[in-house]
């Protein structure tokens, strides 16, 4: 049986303050209607939920699919859905050793073009260079290569580079991205005078979904799918990165 394992999912309740999430439902590809998806259990929470799930994919064909999640709060209000693009492949009977691995940060350079690192049969811990990265949030991606010459899909984690402590306010702290989560338009404001020279938004696959070299203070993201993105700003004062949640 093919099975998609969602190692870690995070949900926020957007219907008000301190309202617990009491139910989560999911569905593939086509929306069966609010409340008609497959229900998942939830842990105790106060409106923010981080939980692992294992989702069966029996009956789905190999290839790309859309997986949707929707939450219900304690007042009986359903939230907007979150969408994830997944790829299914039945590897039953395939047994091949992992021979290589690579990582990349934020933007995917292409399969085989990441930074390679050696692996062994033991549990690995690697150190990676963050020189040149802007203060703020970033995505770290890893994928592996087997003895058959086949690359895996990536796994990723979010990490944050904190600015050095100092008397002057850091660029990261001076810029405010709001509202966040956002439905339509996100505003960029700063407590210091600066000029934005490049704006880039990455999705969770490391793909650039938006870029502008204009000095923009508002971004229209109404056409983006729901999910988590990375917003990178380059200014005349330096660079900073922010996690952006699209409702």
The 10s digit of each residue's pLDDT in 107-154 is 899 999 999 987 766 555 666 777 788 888 888 888 988 888 888 888
- d(CA 69, CA 77) in angstroms, rounded, equals 14
Average pLDDT along the chain: 81
**Other Cβ atoms closer than 10 A to 84:** 17
Per-residue pLDDT, averaged over 16-42, amounts to: 85
Q: What is the pLDDT of residue 8?
A: 44
Q: What percent of the chain has pLDDT over 90?
A: 23
pLDDT in tens, 104-119: 999 899 999 999 987 7
Report the pLDDT value the prediction gives residue 6, as an integer from 0 to 100.
Answer: 46
Contact 126, 116 (CB under 8 A): no
pLDDT band at 43 (very low <50, low <70, confident <90, very high): confident
Q: HSE (CB half, 13 Å, CA atoms) of 88?
A: 22
pLDDT band at 95 (very low <50, low <70, confident <90, very high): low
pLDDT band of 15, cuts 50, 70, 90: very low
Average pLDDT over residues 188-207: 89
Q: How far apart are CA 34 and CA 63, in angstroms?
A: 26
Task: Set out the domains of the chain in order of their start, with CATH numbers.
Answer: 3-88 (2.60.40), 98-161 (2.60.40), 171-246 (2.60.40.1930)
d(C-alpha 77, C-alpha 71), whole Å: 8
Query: Which has the minimum average pLDDT: 89-103, 179-193, 211-225?
Result: 89-103
Query: Of the given ranges (34-38, 53-57, 193-197, 226-230), which has the lowest mean pLDDT?
Result: 53-57
pLDDT surpassing 80 at residue 71: yes
How long is the chain?
247
How would residue 90 be classed by pLDDT, with cut points 50, 70 and 90?
low
> What global pTM score does this model have?
0.53
Q: State yes or no: pLDDT of 96 exceeds 90.
A: no
Q: Which residue has the higher pLDDT, 85 or 230?
A: 230
Contacts 24+ apart (CB under 8 A), 27-30: 27/67, 27/68, 28/57, 28/60, 28/65, 28/66, 28/67, 28/68, 29/65, 29/66
Greater confidence (1 vs 29) lies with 29
Looking at residue 12, what is its pLDDT?
Answer: 52
CA–CA gap between residue 74 and residue 58 (Å, rounded): 31
Confidence of residue 165 (pLDDT cuts 50, 70, 90): very low
Higher-pLDDT residue of 131 and 31 is: 31
């Amino acid at each position: 049986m093919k099975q998609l394992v969602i190692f870690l999912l995070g949900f926020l309740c957007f219907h008000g303050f301190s309202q617990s999430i009491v139910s989560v439902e999911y569905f593939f590809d086509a929306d069966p209607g609010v409340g008609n998806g497959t229900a998942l259990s939830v842990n105790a929470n106060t409106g923010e939920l981080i939980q692992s799930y294992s989702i069966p994919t029996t009956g789905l064909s190999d290839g790309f699919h859309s997986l949707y999640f929707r939450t219900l709060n304690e007042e009986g209000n359903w939230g907007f859905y979150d969408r994830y693009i997944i790829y299914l492949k039945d590897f039953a009977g395939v047994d091949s050793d992992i021979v290589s691995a690579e990582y990349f940060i934020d933007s995917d350079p292409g399969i085989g073009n990441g930074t390679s690192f050696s692996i062994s049969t033991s549990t690995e811990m690697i150190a990676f260079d963050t020189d040149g990265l802007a203060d703020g949030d970033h995505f770290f991606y890893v994928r592996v290569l087997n003895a058959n010459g086949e690359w895996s899909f990536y796994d990723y984690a979010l990490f944050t580079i904190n600015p050095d402590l100092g008397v002057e306010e850091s660029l990261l702290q001076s810029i405010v991205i709001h509202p966040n989560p956002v439905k339509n338009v996100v505003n960029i404001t700063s407590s210091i005078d600066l000029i934005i020279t490049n704006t880039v938004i990455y999705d969770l696959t490391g793909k650039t979904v938006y870029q502008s070299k204009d000095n923009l203070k508002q971004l229209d993201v109404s056409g983006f799918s729901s999910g988590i993105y990375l917003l990178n700003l380059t200014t005349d004062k330096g660079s900073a990165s922010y996690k952006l949640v699209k409702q």
